[in-house]
C-alpha cells in the first residue's frame, strides 16, 4: 500500500483560478488538510475526510498529512495561491527532511497555482514586466534586520518588489517601516500597487506612489507591488490606469 501526498495550489480566489490539474488532485484525494478558510473553498466530496487547522500550525499540519499518507492514504494539502510561495510545499519538505525514512518513500506531487503577485499584476497591467523579486514582510520566521537588508538590496539593484504578508494584527508597524526603508532608495513618484482579495468578490486594486503608500490601507489579504525606477503609470481617460515595467532597461539604470 503506497501513500500519496499532493500539495495543491488553489489560486488566489474562486474556482476560476483553479487549474485543471489542481481540480483533479482534489477530486483524487481521500483526505484533505489545510488552513480552515482554504479548505472552505474546496467543495465537499462524499468519502473525503477534512482536517482543518490554524494558519500558524503549518509544520504540524504537514507532519499530520505526511503521517496520514504514509498509512497508505491519498492525501492533499491545500494552499492559497501557489503552494511553493510562502506556503505549504516548503513546510512539507522541511518535515520530510526531518522526519522518518518512510516519508522519503512517499509519492509527493506539488501542484502549482496562480500566486497572488501574478493575479494582482494582471489586474493592473504589467508591473512585473521585467526583473522582480518577492519578499514576505512577516518576521515570524526571520529577523526584521534581515528583511531590511533584503529591501535595501532589492531596491538598490533595481528590482520591482512584490511584498507578501504586508500587515497582520501581530505586525502592525512593519509595512510602514518597509515603505520608509524603500524611500531611501527610490523616488517619491515610484508607483505602488495594492491588490486586496484579488479573485474574490470583494476584490480591490489601487495605485498610489511611494511617498503616500505608507498611509494606504493594507491588511493580511493585500499584496503590494513596489515599482522600480523604471515602472510607469499610464493614465487613461475613463479607464483605470495601467502600471507597467518596460522590458528594456533605461540608459540611466544601465550606467548607474
Ligand atoms: N501561497 C500564497 C501566499 C501565502 S502568503 C500565494 O502564492 O499567493 C499570504 C499573503 O499572500 C497575504 O498576506 C497576501 O499578501 C497574499 N495574498 C494571498 N491571496 C491574496 C489575494 N487573493 N489577493 C491579494 N493578496 C493575496
Identify the pLDDT of residue 103. Answer: 97
Sign of the Cα pseudo-torsion (203, 204, 205, 210, in order): negative
Mutate which of 38, 141, 164 to test ligand 1's pocket (most atoms within 8 Å of Cβ)? 164
Whole-number Å distance, alpha carbon 117 to ligand 1 midpoint, is 8
Whole-number Å distance, alpha carbon 232 to ligand 1 midpoint, is 24
Cβ 81 vs Cβ 114: under 8 Å: yes
Whole-number Å distance, alpha carbon 229 to ligand 1 midpoint, is 25
What are the average pLDDT values for consecutive 10-residue runs of the chain, which has 256 residues?
A: 90 94 97 95 95 88 97 97 98 98 97 98 98 95 96 98 94 94 98 97 97 94 98 97 93 77
Sign of the Cα pseudo-torsion (141, 142, 143, 147, in order): negative
Mutate which of 37, 84, 116, 201 to test ligand 1's pocket (most atoms within 8 Å of Cβ)? 116
- For the CA of 116, the nearest atom of ligand 1: 8
Q: What is the pTM of this model?
A: 0.96
Which cell numbers in the block locate residue 248?
Answer: 528594456
- For the CA of 79, the nearest atom of ligand 1: 1
Residue indicated by cell numbers 489542481? 22
Identify the pLDDT of residue 1. Answer: 55
Residue of the CA atom closest to atom 9 of ligand 1:
165
Whole-number Å distance, alpha carbon 47 to ligand 1 midpoint, is 30
Q: Cβ(198) to ligand 1 under 6 A? A: yes
Cβ neighbors of 230 (< 8 A, separation 6 or more) are: 130, 158, 245, 246, 249, 250, 253
Residue of the CA atom closest to atom 5 of ligand 1:
86
Q: Is 236 exposed, middle or buried (0-12, 13-18, 19+ CB in 10 A)?
A: exposed
- For the CA of 136, the nearest atom of ligand 1: 5
CB atoms within 10 A of CB 194: 22
Amino acid at each position: 500500500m503506497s501513500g500519496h501526498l499532493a500539495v495543491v495550489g488553489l489560486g488566489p480566489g474562486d474556482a476560476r483560478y483553479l487549474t485543471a490539474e489542481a481540480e483533479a488532485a482534489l477530486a483524487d484525494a481521500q483526505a484533505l488538510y489545510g488552513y480552515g478558510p482554504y479548505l472552505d473553498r474546496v467543495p465537499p466530496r462524499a468519502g473525503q475526510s477534512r482536517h482543518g487547522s490554524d494558519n500558524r500550525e503549518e509544520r504540524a499540519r504537514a507532519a499530520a498529512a505526511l503521517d496520514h499518507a504514509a498509512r497508505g492514504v491519498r492525501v492533499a494539502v491545500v494552499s492559497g495561491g501557489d503552494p511553493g510561495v510562502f506556503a505549504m510545499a516548503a513546510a512539507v519538505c522541511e518535515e520530510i527532511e526531518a522526519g522518518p525514512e518512510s516519508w522519503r518513500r512517499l509519492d509527493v506531487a506539488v501542484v502549482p497555482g496562480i500566486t497572488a503577485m501574478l493575479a494582482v499584476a494582471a489586474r493592473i497591467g504589467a508591473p512585473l514586466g521585467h526583473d522582480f523579486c518577492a519578499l514576505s514582510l512577516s518576521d515570524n520566521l526571520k529577523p526584521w534586520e534581515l528583511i531590511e537588508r533584503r529591501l535595501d538590496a532589492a531596491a538598490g539593484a533595481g528590482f520591482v518588489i512584490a511584498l507578501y504578508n504586508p500587515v497582520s494584527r501581530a505586525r502592525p508597524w512593519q509595512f510602514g517601516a518597509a515603505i520608509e526603508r524603500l524611500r531611501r532608495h527610490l523616488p517619491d513618484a515610484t508607483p505602488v500597487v495594492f491588490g486586496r482579495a484579488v479573485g474574490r468578490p470583494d476584490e480591490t486594486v489601487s495605485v498610489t506612489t511611494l511617498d503616500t503608500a505608507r498611509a494606504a490601507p493594507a491588511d493580511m489579504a493585500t499584496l503590494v507591488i513596489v515599482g522600480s525606477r523604471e515602472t510607469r503609470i499610464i493614465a487613461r481617460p475613463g479607464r483605470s490606469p495601467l502600471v507597467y515595467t518596460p522590458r528594456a532597461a533605461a540608459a540611466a539604470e544601465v550606467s548607474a
